[in-house]
A = this chain, B = another copy of it.
Amino acid sequence: MPVPHHVFDPPFNIVRCSHVMLDVADLGASRAFYEGAIGLHVEDADDNVVYLRGCEEHQHHSLVLRKAASPGCARIAFKVASEDDLDKAAAFCAENKLPHTFVEQPFQGRTLVLTDPFGVRIGLYATMDRRPSLLRRYDLYKGCHPQRLDHFNIFAPEVQDTVDFYARLGFRLTEYAEEDGEDGRIAAAWMHRKGNVHDLAFTNGSGPRLHHFAYWVPSPLNILHLCDVMATTGYLPSLERGPGRHGISNAFFLYVRDPDGHRLEIYTSDYQTMDPDHAPLRWSLRDPRRQTLWGAPAPRSWFEEGTPFAGQAVREPQFIADVIVAD
């Protein structure tokens, strides 16, 4: 794989991944899941939309649930550094012939919605309403006590091209999995803007589809407690994979499916990557510890199922790796 050299002076400045907007069939069921079981904080809600956030987040929302006829991912969203960056992003879209438009989104400033060259729907904004951190509101502890949205993981039919595109936007590669041999193709990649393992990861597969979004928790015990709570309150079928340890990113993980099948990762661990000369870590597709350090296999659904982006067709991947590779 030609490891992409991330751009230090990207066309506009993305600070970090910020929130995800999901279309859900039954708003009440989804709210019960994310608020009652997972333990996110509901910041605002009406009959059509629920806004939630993690306890350390000081902006209004990191998860937006919208009542919709058919489930899907409306968009994943990133915060940019300034209003000026929004205009630069719009110019970049125009220049690169990417569909884009400014929209109104409650509780946040000007919002640019664009479609990347591969069909991923993306929101960009610079300012959002602020709310007091709930980090010291220990009385509100519930579920796994999610602290902050950490990253998105996308099924990409063209991983190499996708990685190259995001490197141009300043995303830096931290870990990747590829086939062995001289012409080994990249099968998965982890890229960041904010200084930890990732804001955005890509996995070879039918796409574009959202594989999962992830919330960070402070300790593995938060995750074990969530398993116990879900298994004894009717959410046993929602426990898809884990708990376990990824070799990649060293994350202790749990994957759960919400009432519409959208996949949420709860994870802890991670490490810092803000050094400009931080070297990416390569994993051979043949090393099984990459996916599951402890050896327990992931279920088939985890490799195959994902959430399409609203209005975007899903394509087959460019190649079938000789080892199952989603991570």
**Which residues on A are within 8 Å of B, measured CB to CB?**
15-16, 56, 58-59, 79, 81-82, 127, 130, 133, 135-139, 141, 147-148, 194-195, 218-221, 224-225, 227-233, 236-237, 239, 243, 245, 247, 250, 252, 268-269, 271-272, 274-279, 281, 289, 293-296
Contact = CB atoms under 8 A, between A and B. Distances in A.
A231 B139 contact: no
A195 B138 contact: no
B275 A15 contact: yes
A56 B272 contact: yes
Contacts of A16: 272, 274-275
A233 to B, nearest CB: 5
A59, A236, A237 interface centre (most CB from chain B within 10 Å): A236
A224 B233 contact: no
A232 B137 contact: yes
A230 B296 CA distance: 13
Nearest to A234: B139
A136 B59 CA distance: 34
A229 B136 CA distance: 9
Contacts of A275: 15-16, 58-59, 79
Contacts of A231: 138, 245, 289, 293-295
Contacts of A58: 275, 278-279
B227 A294 contact: yes
Contacts of A79: 275
Given A130-B279, A274-B195, A275-B15, A295 B81 contact: no
A20 to B, nearest CB: 17
Contact of A141 (B225, B252, B278): B225
A204 to B, nearest CB: 24
A82 B9 CA distance: 14
A81, A230, A250 interface centre (most CB from chain B within 10 Å): A250
